[in-house]
């Protein structure tokens, strides 16, 4: 693509000027404008196969699929290197890392100076969201990584289409350089005031596909606060019942906690007459329509999702989808040049693990695929993509679900009493950490609304923003929580999960219609065992009862822990939310 040089449109002009400015600082040998075409993708891939950046997979069984191996020290998002850069620390709050914007600018400028010398700089204009949607946004990412350039073609609408959608409100600017992959100088800096992202010394998706978490969540959440909408770490699905009626719901679960799998759920045998249509597997932008209904769009055009434990058993729809046009990162490679990961099935006799070490006969020590190995696939090729995916106005949301990995305590599924109580449910989310971010796995931590790593401003203000919708609408979605991750005494999952999660979705849909039965408990409306039971489901009644149990003593402790967390958020924490917590505490006390 030639740079849109002669263009008279001043916004396009300023985009080109900005790219020139970055090139003046970073000093690449050349600048290439990406047009997002298949031809360009083939060329990028060809170059990367030639220099070993990508490995071509078996083109008969995996056409147009490639394997990328990252640096072993650069395999997940790195929260300790992620900063929100503003003037005042209080603007970002205690759940974010803060850097003064002046200091950050100086630091980044020094790191960027000449960092692309000897390399090509790719300039990638991208559009997030449907064509001609009032909610879509334009960004431009410049990067010296061809892996990022190729992946961005999958994740966003790249090229002319972005320039055509440039409007008066400008565009988000992103600068990425792999630098020397120096971990001590790894920074992912966000400047909400300038709609600017600078990412240095990483080449891992979540740190470098800047359209994703950096733009669509951290910067967009700030815009959403200022403009009265929501940018959330949420899947969006349409649940079709046997009569063909479709109910749209969103679900906020933390990283590596089941969003993609719920989005691409294949109904089990005993619910064959139902279906789940995918709108988004990771991010939702939600705007109130004039009637007060939240309408959700997916800003993304591709999936960047977890590989391990995906199998024909757990999720055949994903297995089928990733068989073409997919870039795998850090999975293992079988001797027939097909990808392999833990949980896929039988361990191949010979394989190369994610670091390229060969193992023959028997299991590789450690894991063959990295626990956070992922694949990038265009959303268009998913056969059950909702026809409403392209709707410029988004889909109307009836319910929102919060969830996360919680081996104990949290019931399988239940409903909040009100919008405010639902916000409490989301704000209270305390879940086990996963391999999606560097650091220890399985540690309980607060991850309110699954946005701990992604909210670009003070989380106390964020709760206030959620509460503010009450006065703007009387058609707010119902709020639920689900937890398919409870463990039994034997350390195994009590609930079979995956396709069986449709049982929970059915209950949620029926609750919204005033149909399914529930019992009132201090934490919300919990299903009766009967209301979840379906002929053929094969989960023993005793297990369902255990999964629905509200453990009074453990919940009271949870509320106390939550109170400490809320108090740690300081003066800006909304009183109305503390009152919701008080009310829940009183509900338990009055039971005694």
| Contact positions vs Mn ion (CB under 5 A) | 255, 282
Considering only residues 206, 238, 299, 522, which one is a binding residue for ligand SPV as defined by CB under 6 A? 206
CA distance 332 to 356: 8
* Binding of residue 308 to ligand GTP (CB under 6 A): yes
Q: What Å distances lie between residue 47 and 38, 44, 325, 413, 536, CA to CA?
A: 14, 5, 17, 49, 52
Helix (H) or strand (E) holding 286: strand 284-288
Residue 216: exposure state from Cβ atoms within 10 A (0-12, 13-18, ≥19): buried
CA distance 119 to 122: 10
Tokens at 389, concatenated: 């995916």
* Binding of residue 497 to ligand GTP (CB under 6 A): yes
Site string for ligand GTP, 334-363 (x = CB under 6 A): ------------------------------
* Binding of residue 278 to ligand GTP (CB under 6 A): no
Beta pairing, strands 518-521 & 524-527: antiparallel
- Cβ 538 to ligand SPV shortest distance, Å: 31
Q: Which position's Cβ is nearest Mn ion?
A: 282
* Binding of residue 305 to ligand GTP (CB under 6 A): yes
Based on CB atoms, which residue is closest to Mn ion, 255 or 416? 255
Residues 428-457 that bind ligand GTP (CB under 6 A): 436
Based on CB atoms, which residue is closest to ligand SPV, 351 or 436? 436
**Using CB under 6 A, which of the segments 210-218, 305-313, 345-353, 514-522 binds ligand GTP?**
305-313
Considering only residues 70, 95, 260, 521, which one is a binding residue for ligand GTP as defined by CB under 6 A? 260
* From the list ligand SPV, ligand GTP, Mn ion, none, partner contacted by residue 205 (C-beta under 5 to 8 A by kind): ligand SPV
Considering only residues 68, 153, 213, 215, which one is a binding residue for ligand SPV as defined by CB under 6 A? 213
CA distance 38 to 395: 29
Contacts of 295 (CB under 8 A, 6+ apart): 286, 287, 288, 289, 393, 394, 395, 396, 397
* Binding of residue 464 to ligand SPV (CB under 6 A): no
The runs of H, that is alpha helices, within 341-455 are 419-427
Q: Are 214 and 276 a contacting pair, CB within 8 Å? A: no
Considering only residues 493, 541, 551, 567, which one is a binding residue for ligand GTP as defined by CB under 6 A? 493
Considering only residues 74, 282, 558, 584, which one is a binding residue for ligand SPV as defined by CB under 6 A? 282
Based on CB atoms, which residue is closest to ligand SPV, 96 or 255? 255
Torsion angle (degrees, nearest 10) of CA 47, 70, 73, 84: 80
Considering only residues 151, 255, 263, 446, which one is a binding residue for ligand SPV as defined by CB under 6 A? 255
- Cβ 71 to Mn ion shortest distance, Å: 21
- As a three-state string, the secondary structure of 368-390 is CCCCCCEEEEEHHHCCCECHHHH
* Binding of residue 484 to ligand GTP (CB under 6 A): yes
Residues 288-327 that bind ligand SPV (CB under 6 A): 304
Site string for ligand SPV, 540-559 (x = CB under 6 A): --------------------
**Using CB under 6 A, which of the segments 143-151, 184-192, 251-259, 467-475 binds ligand GTP?**
251-259
* Binding of residue 511 to ligand SPV (CB under 6 A): no
Question: What 3-state class would DSSP assign to 32?
Answer: strand
CA distance 287 to 540: 41
* Binding of residue 205 to ligand SPV (CB under 6 A): yes
Number of Cβ within 10 Å of residue 167's Cβ equals 11
* Binding of residue 481 to ligand GTP (CB under 6 A): no
Tell me how many residues contact ligand GTP (CB under 6 A): 22
Site string for ligand GTP, 198-237 (x = CB under 6 A): ----------------------------------------
Contacts of 205 (CB under 8 A, 6+ apart): 151, 212, 304, 329, 374, 376
Question: Which region, left, alpha or beta, applies to residue 31 given φ > 0 means left and ψ of -120 to 50 means alpha?
Answer: beta
Q: Edge-to-edge strand order for the sheet containing 358-360?
A: 339-340, 332-334, 350-352, 358-360
Q: Which position's Cβ is nearest ligand SPV?
A: 206
* From the list Mn ion, ligand SPV, ligand GTP, none, partner contacted by residue 82 (C-beta under 5 to 8 A by kind): none
| 182 secondary structure, DSSP code | -
Site string for ligand SPV, 173-202 (x = CB under 6 A): ------------------------------
Based on CB atoms, which residue is closest to ligand GTP, 396 or 484? 484
**Owner of token pair 């719920």:** 262
Write down how long the chain is: 592
Contacts of 11 (CB under 8 A, 6+ apart): 166, 167, 168, 170, 171
* Binding of residue 452 to ligand SPV (CB under 6 A): no
**Using CB under 6 A, which of the segments 83-91, 204-212, 329-337, 490-498 binds ligand SPV?**
204-212
* Binding of residue 309 to ligand GTP (CB under 6 A): yes
Percentage helix, strand, coil for the chain under 3-state DSSP, each rounded to 5: 35, 25, 40
CA distance 446 to 428: 7
- Cβ 110 to ligand GTP shortest distance, Å: 32
* From the list ligand GTP, ligand SPV, Mn ion, none, partner contacted by residue 501 (C-beta under 5 to 8 A by kind): ligand GTP
* Binding of residue 144 to ligand SPV (CB under 6 A): no
Longest dimension (CA), the chain: 75
CA distance 156 to 158: 6
* Binding of residue 382 to ligand GTP (CB under 6 A): no
Torsion angle (degrees, nearest 10) of CA 137, 143, 146, 147: -60
Judged by the rule CB under 6 A, the positions of this chain that interact with ligand SPV are 77, 205-206, 212-213, 255, 282, 304, 436
Judged by the rule CB under 6 A, the positions of this chain that interact with ligand GTP are 253, 255-261, 281-282, 305-306, 308-310, 314, 436, 484, 493, 497-498, 501
């Amino acid at each position: 693509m030639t740079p849109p040089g002669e263009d008279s449109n001043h916004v396009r002009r300023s985009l080109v000027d900005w790219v020139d400015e970055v090139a003046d600082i970073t000093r690449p040998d050349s600048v290439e404008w990406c047009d997002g075409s298949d031809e360009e993708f083939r060329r990028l891939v060809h170059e990367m196969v030639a220099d070993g950046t990508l490995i071509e997979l078996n083109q008969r069984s995996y056409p147009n699929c490639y394997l990328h191996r990252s640096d072993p020290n650069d395999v997940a998002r790195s929260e300790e290197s992620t900063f929100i850069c503003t003037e005042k620390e209080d603007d970002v709050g205690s759940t974010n890392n803060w850097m003064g914007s002046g200091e950050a600018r100086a630091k980044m400028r020094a790191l960027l100076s000449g960092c692309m010398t000897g390399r090509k700089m790719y300039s990638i204009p991208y559009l997030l969201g449907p064509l001609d949607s009032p909610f879509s946004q334009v960004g431009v990412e410049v990067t010296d990584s061809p892996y990022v350039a190729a992946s961005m073609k999958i994740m966003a609408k790249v090229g002319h289409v972005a320039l055509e959608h440039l409007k008066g409100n400008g565009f988000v600017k992103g600068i990425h350089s792999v630098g020397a992959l120096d971990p001590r100088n790894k920074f992912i800096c966000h400047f909400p005031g300038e709609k600017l992202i600078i990412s240095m010394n990483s080449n891992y998706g979540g740190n470098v596909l800047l359209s994703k978490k950096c733009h669509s969540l951290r910067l967009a959440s700030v815009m959403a606060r200022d403009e009265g909408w929501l940018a959330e770490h949420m899947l969006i699905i349409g649940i079709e019942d046997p009569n063909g009626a479709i109910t749209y719901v969103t679900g906020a679960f933390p990283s590596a906690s089941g969003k993609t799998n719920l989005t691409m759920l294949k109904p089990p045998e005993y619910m064959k007459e139902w279906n789940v249509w995918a709108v988004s597997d990771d991010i939702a932008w939600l705007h109130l329509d004039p009637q007060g209904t939240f309408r959700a769009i997916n800003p993304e055009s591709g999936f960047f999702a977890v590989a391990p434990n995906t199998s024909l058993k757990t999720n055949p729809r994903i297995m089928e989808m990733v068989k073409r046009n997919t870039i795998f990162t850090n999975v293992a490679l079988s001797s027939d040049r097909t990808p392999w990961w833990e949980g896929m099935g039988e361990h191949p006799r010979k394989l190369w693990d994610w670091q390229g070490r060969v193992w023959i006969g028997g299991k590789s020590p450690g894991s063959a695929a990295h626990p956070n190995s992922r694949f990038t696939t265009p959303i268009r090729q998913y056969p059950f993509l909702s026809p409403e995916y392209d709707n410029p106005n988004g889909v109307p949301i009836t319910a929102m679900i919060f969830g996360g990995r919680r081996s104990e305590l949290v019931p399988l599924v239940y409903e909040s009493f009100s919008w405010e109580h639902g916000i409490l449910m989301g704000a209270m989310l305390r879940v086990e950490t996963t391999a999606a971010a560097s650091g220890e796995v399985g540690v309980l931590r607060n991850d309110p609304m699954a946005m701990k790593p992604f909210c670009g401003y003070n989380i106390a203000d964020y709760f206030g923003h959620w509460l503010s919708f009450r006065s703007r609408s009387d058609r707010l979605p119902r709020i639920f929580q689900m937890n398919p991750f409870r463990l039994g005494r034997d350390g195994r999952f009590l609930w079979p999960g995956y396709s069986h999660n449709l049982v929970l979705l059915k209950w949620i849909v029926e609750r919204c219609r005033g149909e399914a039965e529930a019992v009132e408990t201090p934490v919300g409306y919990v299903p009766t065992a009967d209301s979840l039971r379906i002929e053929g489901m094969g989960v023993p009644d005793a297990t369902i009862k255990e999964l629905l149990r509200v453990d009074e003593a453990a919940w009271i402790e949870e509320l106390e822990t939550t109170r400490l967390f809320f108090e740690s958020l300081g003066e800006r924490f909304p009183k109305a939310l503390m009152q919701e917590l008080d009310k829940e505490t009183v509900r338990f006390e009055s039971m005694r």
